[in-house]
Amino acid sequence: MRPTLRQLQLLIATAENKSFSEAAKAMCLTPPALSIQISQLEESMGISLFERIGRRKCLTPAGEILLASCKAIFEELQNVNIRLTRLKCGMSGELKISAVTSAKFFVPHLLGGFHRLYPDVKFKLTVANRNQIMERIDDNLDDLVIMAHVPENSRVVAVPVLSNPLVVIARPGHRLAKRKKIALVDLEGEDFLFREEGSGTRMMTEQIFKEKGISVNSVMELGSSAAIKQGVMAGLGISIISKHAVWLEIRTKYLIELKLKTLLKPRPWYSVHPEQKELSLLAESFQNFIRINAENIISSVESLRI
């Protein structure tokens, strides 16, 4: 008996959740039904794929090998689906995308990757602050929106497409610059640059400081990540910013990343649209494309030799 695509999907779900019960819940199955499918997969492979460590289900070395192949299989299936859709229907027209200001540093690269596949597609990209973006969502002005902080209880569909690592930045001459590792508490009392009220980065920064009980000296509010970077370079203070917005300045040593003992928890970037909105074939294809390819596209851009 050969493994089925469904069994491979269940393998991925179990590996990600490290629990039969959680994986079964995610895949709308009962735990016994999922267990039977995994057992049949192991039987067809002729080797154990999972082992129990404490309460967790962990992959065996054979399971790790199969998992990597499974992900490659489903990624290729998605790419085939996109290519077939293009062949059947043609992929053209205008795609209206809006993005919060912090995302403007990487969204064009995602558009470029999609454009190389579908050169007949035209783009209209609007960059705005978070409050303006929320208004655009309410007014249904765009096909898709790229943002990081999605309001709770908002009537939208939010699909994670890219990790959003946050970093603490300073000018090279800052007093903490030569420290190999610092704790968040070391930022206590530091002059700090904040984004404007309502900014997703501002809300995440304030939440981090509140959780850790840290108080900083707010010296200035600035309306964009570009302005934050210039303010830090000017020696006005330090700040927390998306690493995607500042990788070039760090690589060229105009700014430095203060290395933390405990990394800030990354928040994802999302592709967002109103709950009641029916996506066009073009918008759905773009969303699927960036969900699968965004990490690789951005990693390749940020690793370019300068």
Residue range 221-232: average pLDDT?
91
34 and 67 belong to one structural domain:
yes
47 and 138 belong to one structural domain:
no
Of 86, 119, 148, the position where a domain reaches its end is: 86
Residue range 74-91: average pLDDT?
72
Is the pLDDT score of 306 beyond 70?
Answer: no
Is the pLDDT score of 95 beyond 60?
Answer: yes
Q: What is the pLDDT of residue 1?
A: 63
What is the sign of the dihedral through the CA atoms of 230, 160, 80 and 97? Answer: negative
Domain that holds residue 112: 90-163+268-302
Confidence class of residue 272 from pLDDT cuts 50, 70 and 90?
very high
Q: What is the pLDDT of residue 232?
A: 95
122 and 203 belong to one structural domain:
no
Is the pLDDT score of 99 beyond 90?
Answer: yes
170 and 292 belong to one structural domain:
no
61 and 178 belong to one structural domain:
no
Q: What is the pLDDT of residue 286?
A: 94
Of 34, 65, 86, the position where a domain reaches its end is: 86
Residue 118 Cα to chain centre, angstroms: 23
Q: What is the pLDDT of residue 89?
A: 60
Is the pLDDT score of 87 beyond 60?
Answer: no
Between strands 56-59 and 50-53, the pairing is antiparallel
129 and 174 belong to one structural domain:
no
Number of domains in the chain: 3
Residue range 1-8: average pLDDT?
84
Give the pLDDT confidence of 69-80 residue by residue, as tens digits.
Answer: 998 888 888 877
Whole-number Cα distances in Å, 75 to 12, 78, 203, 292 = 13, 5, 34, 7
The answer, as to whether pTM is greater than 0.85, is no
Of 67, 86, 105, the position where a domain reaches its end is: 86
Q: What is the CATH number of the domain that holds 110?
A: 3.40.190.10
Give the pLDDT confidence of 131-144 residue by residue, as tens digits.
Answer: 899 999 989 999 99
Q: Name residue, tokens 């895949």.
A: 27
Is 70:98 a contact under the CB 8 Å cutoff?
no
122 and 173 belong to one structural domain:
no
148 and 181 belong to one structural domain:
no
70 and 191 belong to one structural domain:
no
Q: What is the pLDDT of residue 71?
A: 87
Residue range 17-26: average pLDDT?
88
Q: Which are the contacts of 289, defined by CB distance < 8 A and separation ≥ 6?
A: 82, 110, 113, 114, 117
State what percent of residues in the chain have pLDDT above 70: 96
Confidence class of residue 233 from pLDDT cuts 50, 70 and 90?
very high
Is 86:118 a contact under the CB 8 Å cutoff?
yes
